[in-house]
Structure 1
Amino acid sequence: MIADAPTARRRPWHWRTLDTAADGLAVDLGLYAVSTIFAAITAVTSTLSPHRAWGAVAAVGYLAATLVVITQLLLRRHHPSTPLTGLRARWTITGLTWASTALLPLLWQSIERASGRTDRAQEEVLVVEHAGTRLLEHGTPYLGRDAIAALPPGEQLLGYTPYQPGMAMFGLPRALADTWWTDSRVWFAVGTALALALAVAALRRPPAAAGQTDRGHRPDATLLRGVQAATVLPVCALTLATGGDDLPVLALCLLALALAATDRPGRAGLAVGLAGALKLFAWPVALVLIVWGLTRRAGTRVAAGAIGLPVAALLPAILVDHDALTENVLRFPLGHGLVTSPAQSPFPGYLIANALPAGRVVAAALLVAAGVVIAVRLARRPPRTAVATALICGYGLLAAIALMPSTRFGYLLYPMALLTWAPALHRPVHPPATPVPELTSRTASA
């Protein structure tokens, strides 16, 4: 049981050795340079118009960041103590890069879409906005099976809403006004930025030990690297600019882990519960956080929000039309809807499901087996730290994404961000203060 903490400390060692090269600038250079190539290739070769539009803008932003980091490395070589190469400067570059590679393409595509371009949003944007309209008009974001069957064949896929009811909230602005700022991606970005800002603020808050605040504790480069993984990493920037529904879910999960790391289990449960009210991907994270809470005698406080909020979001949809909820949230993702999901990937689960006889059964069995392995691990060695919790969530979701019969390459943003976020969750451990010898001797004599 106690082995969790040392294991969590050992795992990031090799990564930290690389990450500290040139005070972190070496990895920054690699991140932005590879991202530039990725965005340029996407702009030229992608078959999706929103992706090509993103790549054309993002490649310039990543290239600019690459050139700035090269300049920083040169400055550092000749002026090692200059603040232009320090952590504050790296935070500034990260923020500007996110603005140029995610927010700018998002706003550009939203404005073009409002002007009449129909190829400036992925299907999930339309699905969420339609769900918001149905929620406003009918009290549920879901269409029943008969209503979906009545749609033209080419529109039946868009009739499905394979999300939790809370996701429809991001589509409500579009139901009220048809303009660029009511695009659901704009509100995905707002929700993502707010959750990440709260997570950073939580981890920057100095921890208290023995009733006193540790004034020497400050956020370090691991927190910056975690933020980069959730913002400027191409899979995250591309997803936010063209679709976006996964980013607020991810950001809320990162916020929940940050709150767990700072010993606020009740708030951690609320954060992951909000994520679970948006999408099923947050539910495994909620389960692992509840197990973490049990090790601290706070399982009930975590579960109250982690389970209570998704259930509260589901209740209205169940009361209005429980059949429509089942059709959208269960039958369609499991491949039993009127149409099948177009999700494809080069991962083993998808390849097995499509290449072998009874492939979907084989892939499902492998997925269940992976779940059993993780459940046994949680039972035998429950995570006692937020770091261990993040690692289990990251590797568990990576295994699930690899084995799911229907999945997307973009879902990798979850495990990549969670695993990169884990080192930022380390909190300093303060040994009890050593009594002053003179004071001890006086007390003994008294």
Structure 2
Amino acid sequence: MTFGTIGRIATDLRPRLLDAAFYALCAVFAAVTALTSTLLPHRAWGQVVWIGYTAGAVLVLLIARWRVIPLLFAATALLPLLIESIQRAAGRTDRAQEEVLVVERMGDRLVHTGTPYLSHDAIAALPEPDRLMGYAPYQPGMAVFGLPRAAFGEAWWTDARVWFAVATVFCLLWTLRLLAFSTRAIPLAQSVAVLPLCTLTLATGGDDLPVLALCLLALALSASDRFLAAGVAVGLAGALKLFALPVALVLLVLALSTRRRPAWFAATALGIPLLALLPALLVDADAYLENAVRFPGGHGLVTSPAQSPLPGYLIASALPAGRTVALALLLLAGAVIALQLLRNPPRSSGRAAAYIAAGLTAAIMLTPATRFGYLLYPVAFLAFWWSQHKTREPVPA
């Protein structure tokens, strides 16, 4: 055996060992979740998937790295999702996070009232323990995932998570196809299809995954100079959640800096969310403001449960006028990133992804009401940057 052959074997083995270590850590996380989580859907997830992660740590040493990822996604996201949705349809009330019920109720309200939102007075009329579930802090498009249950009743396949998964898989496969399933795209696939932040979220809640997958698709389409299609993708994401708005703004700067149909991009990226919002505003504009603006901003009838101990929450709860201080720091961070964005605009989708990751990380860290789970967004955008950061930036036409 020559030194060259040994070197090639070592070069191929190194990423496999790193993957094996990553999957083993995921297995440990799943086992700890199964034993210690106070959230029953999370505990049920951990009880199922630690075996899959452990098997993945072994399999990646034996078969191609790309082949392990779909197997792990099936074992750690789709399988527990299927189990929990079947158990829920059979009567278990502890097999879905609250956001699943909220989205399904949005779909039901949309069918029966023309808007997915309850008004301030309607929420106030609910018994106090039920008021939190009366809020729907999403954009109107999220109600689409609740329509199957509204139309066909309770069944495992009408669970909103099933349709979150369908949309996520479709967009992720399209994204990876645009990136030619290259080796450099493996961390991106792992960040959405293997990382527990994402697999746990998809199996137990799931509403963030279609938003993330659409945003990644928009980045991949922009990397292929398909800015009109990118605008449609990020516009659809914005019709689901406002988390997509920073993505749309950064991609608009990219379209402007590279002269790639910025007007068409803006028309779709910003127009689609506005069109989705219009019916809700026409039916009851104040109900939308109560659900999507006042409640997330801390001015609803009840307090948002999104209170992970990140810096913004700690500052808001520990200091005099802490909420004001946290919001001031958030605005300062946003201004710094915006200034850098204007002074040194991105010239590639990879650079755009880096800006998006920085902005969302600042927002998640400094917002007074936030969750650890939202970190799945910057992690995935950093993985996209990694898949692109050696690509030559285009020269403006």
TM normalised by structure 1 equals 0.84
Deviation of residue 63 (structure 1)? 0.8
Residue in 1 that maps onto 2:218: 256
- CA 293–150 in structure 1, closer or farther in 2 if over 3 Å, else same: same
Residue in 2 that maps onto 1:397: 360
Amino acid at match of 1:248: P
Amino acid at match of 2:167: G
CA contact (8 A) 2:188 2:383 kept: yes
Matched, 1:285 2:247: yes
- Deviation digits for residues 12-36 of structure 1 (CA, Å, limit 9, x no counterpart): xxxxxxx967252122112101000
Q: How many residues align?
A: 383
- 103-112 or 416-425: bigger deviation: 416-425
2:59 counterpart (44, 62, 68): 68
Matched, 1:24 2:15: yes
Residue in 2 that maps onto 1:239: 201
Matched, 1:305 2:280: no
Measured in 2, the distance between the counterparts of 1:388 and 1:20 equals: 28
Measured in 1, the distance between the counterparts of 2:18 and 2:365 equals: 26
Measured in 2, the distance between the counterparts of 1:236 and 1:112 equals: 21
Measured in 2, the distance between the counterparts of 1:430 and 1:423 equals: 14
CA contact (8 A) 1:24 1:221 kept: no
Matched, 1:321 2:312: no
Deviation of residue 225 (structure 1)? 1.5
CA contact (8 A) 2:69 2:194 kept: yes
Specify every segment of 5 or more residues in structure 2 that has no aligned partner in the other structure, as ranges: 1-9
Residue in 1 that maps onto 2:6: none
- 279-288 or 419-428: bigger deviation: 419-428
CA contact (8 A) 2:31 2:50 kept: yes
Please give the secondary structure, in 2, of the residue aligned with 1:63.
helix
Residue in 1 that maps onto 2:81: 106
Amino acid at match of 2:220: A
Amino acid at match of 1:419: L
Amino acid at match of 1:61: G
Residue in 1 that maps onto 2:375: 412
- Deviation digits for residues 222-245 of structure 1 (CA, Å, limit 9, x no counterpart): 112111111110110000000000
1:265 counterpart (217, 222, 227): 227
Please give the secondary structure, in 1, of the residue aligned with 2:357.
helix
- CA 116–299 in structure 1, closer or farther in 2 if over 3 Å, else same: same
Amino acid at match of 2:184: T
Deviation of residue 364 (structure 1)? 0.7
CA contact (8 A) 1:367 1:400 kept: yes
Measured in 2, the distance between the counterparts of 1:109 and 1:403 equals: 33
1:149 counterpart (106, 124, 130): 124
1:197 counterpart (164, 170, 173): 173
- Deviation digits for residues 241-295 of structure 1 (CA, Å, limit 9, x no counterpart): 0000000000001000000111111111111111000001111111100000101
CA contact (8 A) 2:351 2:389 kept: no
Measured in 1, the distance between the counterparts of 2:193 and 2:148 equals: 24
- CA 356–20 in structure 1, closer or farther in 2 if over 3 Å, else same: farther
Amino acid at match of 2:205: G
- Deviation digits for residues 400-440 of structure 1 (CA, Å, limit 9, x no counterpart): 10001000110010000110111223575599xxxxxxxxx
Matched, 1:341 2:316: no
Residue in 2 that maps onto 1:58: 49
Measured in 1, the distance between the counterparts of 2:357 and 2:54 equals: 29
CA contact (8 A) 1:258 1:425 kept: no
Measured in 2, the distance between the counterparts of 1:358 and 1:333 equals: 19
**Matches of residues 161-200 of structure 1 in structure 2 within 5 Å?**
161-177=136-152, 178-200=154-176
- Deviation digits for residues 99-157 of structure 1 (CA, Å, limit 9, x no counterpart): 00000000100000000000000000000000000011111100000000011111100
Measured in 2, the distance between the counterparts of 1:381 and 1:39 equals: 41
Measured in 2, the distance between the counterparts of 1:307 and 1:30 equals: 42
Please give the secondary structure, in 2, of the residue aligned with 1:140.
coil
The root-mean-square deviation of aligned C-alpha atoms, in Å, is 1.6
Residue in 2 that maps onto 1:36: 27
Residue in 1 that maps onto 2:343: 380
Amino acid at match of 1:27: L
Deviation of residue 350 (structure 1)? 0.6
CA contact (8 A) 1:21 1:27 kept: no
Residue in 1 that maps onto 2:4: none
Amino acid at match of 1:195: C
CA contact (8 A) 1:192 1:251 kept: yes
Measured in 2, the distance between the counterparts of 1:27 and 1:277 equals: 38
Specify every segment of 5 or more residues in structure 1 that has no aligned partner in the other structure, as ranges: 1-18, 73-83, 205-218, 432-446
TM normalised by structure 2 equals 0.94
1:125 counterpart (78, 84, 100): 100
Deviation of residue 307 (structure 1)? 0.2
